[in-house]
């Protein structure tokens, strides 16, 4: 009887590189933050697990075109299906009534995304190409599905795969860090007196017909003027219509739970698998992290400054903290604005107003993505 040949069993161990070990450690860190620190666990756990699998010595069997991740990438990332399914669920969670009762929130949501365009210009100056700069700027919206959608639209011809993975992971990572990054900015750019401003607790009522017509009208307008953003707007507004119709509660519940959770699992693990050491560990990734943080900070500051301006125009009737909620991190940013307001006055309830700004930010991020794709994609094809 001959002895066992252990060379095949040891091949994986001998082939692993120190770069892959670093990426495995990063994957474990993401999972640790999700499990033990409760930082967006629905995002970080599948991303971290995918990162580990994507850097195993035998991962080619899973990452190749016929492997698990290759199939998932073609099925839901390269054709933008997973982000669109997630937007269907987000729409079913959104309550547009606080936004519709205060139209000024639409402007607040738009101006809170100026950091996207500023970061785009800075990225160009640092040597990234136009497509990469666009995707990096979109990180500021703190909206992972939209970032992935923009990445997919710009295509592998314009954004290098390793950088595309860094952009997607950065967007999701900063989504998990919203509770850490935003509150200090809220305190630095507002005064105690401003944070104590009480707003009318109940916004003016919005009729059911208005809530139903809004998603339909918005889809029609977006499809005419921003066709590149139409799929995002359509899925977001379809989810909202299911919620507001009141006669298809089962569909609305399926959209915001089963469909969203399933798409999030597949999207997270697939994005994590693209964090491969050979493409991810470079100075480009570090610059994406810094620029993504800059975009996030600038968006929050922009919302706060416009909130202060509206506060002044209204005769101090609007709490500027609601401006910080005008990004896409729904409903996290709205709740954080409420939390910071309560720190100064435990009877100050601005949550409904902040969620209105939050809904405006969600819509504004999608429109910003559509505008950028509409303007930039033709330039890339020349």
Residue 186 has pLDDT above 80, yes or no: yes
Helix, strand, coil distribution of the chain in percent, nearest 5: 75, 0, 25
Secondary structure of residue 79 in the 3-state scheme? coil
Contacts of 190 by beta carbon, 8 Å cutoff, 6+ apart: 304, 307, 308, 320, 321
Return the minimum-mean-pLDDT range out of 98-112, 156-170, 203-217, 314-328: 156-170
Residue 158: per-residue pLDDT: 66
What's the mean pLDDT in 257-264? 95
Residue 217: per-residue pLDDT: 96
Residue 103: per-residue pLDDT: 84
Question: Residue 49's pLDDT band (boundaries 50, 70, 90)?
Answer: very high
What's the mean pLDDT in 45-66? 82
Higher-pLDDT residue of 165, 84: 84
Residue 155 has pLDDT above 70, yes or no: no
- Is residue 73 within 8 Å of residue 295, measured between CB atoms? no
Residue 161: per-residue pLDDT: 67
- CA 329-136-41 angle, 5° bins: 40
**58 closest CA partner among 123, 121, 25, 9:** 9
How far is residue 32 from each of residues 1, 38, 40, 48, measured CA to CA in Å? 46, 9, 11, 9
DSSP 250-270: HHHHHIIIIIHHHHHHHHHHH
C-alpha–C-alpha distance, residues 139 and 293, integer Å: 8
What would the two tokens of residue 273 be?
């698998």
Question: Residue 13's pLDDT band (boundaries 50, 70, 90)?
Answer: low
Question: Residue 344's pLDDT band (boundaries 50, 70, 90)?
Answer: very high
> Considering the entire predicted model, what is its pTM?
0.87
**339 closest CA partner among 330, 328, 329, 350:** 350
Residue 191 has pLDDT above 90, yes or no: yes
Residues 279, 281, 287, 292, CA torsion sign: positive
State what percent of residues in the chain have pLDDT above 90: 45
Residue 90: per-residue pLDDT: 92
Return the minimum-mean-pLDDT range out of 102-116, 309-323, 355-369: 102-116
Residue 1: per-residue pLDDT: 45
Residue 3: per-residue pLDDT: 54
């Amino acid at each position: 009887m001959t002895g066992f040949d252990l060379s095949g069993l040891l091949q994986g161990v001998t082939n692993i590189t120190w770069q892959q070990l670093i990426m495995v450690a990063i994957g474990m860190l993401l999972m640790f933050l999700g499990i033990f620190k409760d930082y967006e666990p629905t995002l970080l756990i599948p991303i971290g697990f995918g990162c580990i699998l994507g850097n195993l010595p035998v991962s080619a069997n899973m990452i190749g075109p016929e492997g698990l991740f290759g199939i998932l990438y073609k099925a839901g990332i390269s054709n933008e299906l997973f982000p669109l399914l997630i937007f269907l669920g987000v729409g079913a969670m959104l309550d547009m009534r606080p936004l519709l009762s205060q139209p000024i929130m639409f402007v607040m949501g738009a101006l809170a995304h100026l950091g996207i365009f500023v970061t785009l210009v800075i990225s160009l100056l640092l040597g990234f190409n136009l497509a990469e700069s666009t995707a990096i700027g979109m990180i500021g919206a703190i909206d992972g599905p939209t970032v992935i959608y923009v990445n997919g639209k710009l295509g592998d011809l314009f954004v290098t795969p390793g950088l595309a993975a860094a952009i997607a992971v950065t967007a999701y990572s900063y989504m998990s860090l919203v509770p850490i990054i935003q509150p200090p900015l809220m305190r630095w750019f507002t005064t105690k007196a401003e944070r104590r401003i009480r707003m009318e607790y109940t916004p003016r009522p919005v009729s059911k017909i208005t809530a139903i017509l809004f998603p339909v009208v918005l889809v029609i307008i977006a499809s005419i003027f921003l066709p590149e953003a139409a799929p995002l707007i359509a899925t977001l507004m379809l989810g909202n219509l299911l919620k507001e119709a009141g006669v298809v509660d089962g569909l609305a519940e399926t959209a915001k739970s089963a469909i969203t959770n399933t798409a999030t699992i597949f999207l997270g693990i697939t994005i994590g698998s693209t964090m491969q050491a050979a493409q991810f560990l470079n100075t480009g990734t570090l610059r994406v992290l810094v620029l993504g943080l800059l975009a996030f900070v600038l968006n929050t500051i922009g919302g706060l400054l416009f909130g202060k301006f509206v506060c002044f125009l209204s005769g101090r009737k609007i709490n500027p903290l609601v401006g910080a909620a005008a990004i896409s991190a729904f409903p996290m940013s709205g709740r954080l604005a409420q939390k910071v307001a309560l720190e100064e006055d435990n009877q100050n309830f601005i949550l409904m107003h902040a969620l209105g700004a939050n809904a405006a930010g969600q819509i504004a991020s999608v429109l910003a993505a559509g505008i950028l794709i509409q303007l930039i994609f033709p330039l890339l094809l020349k």
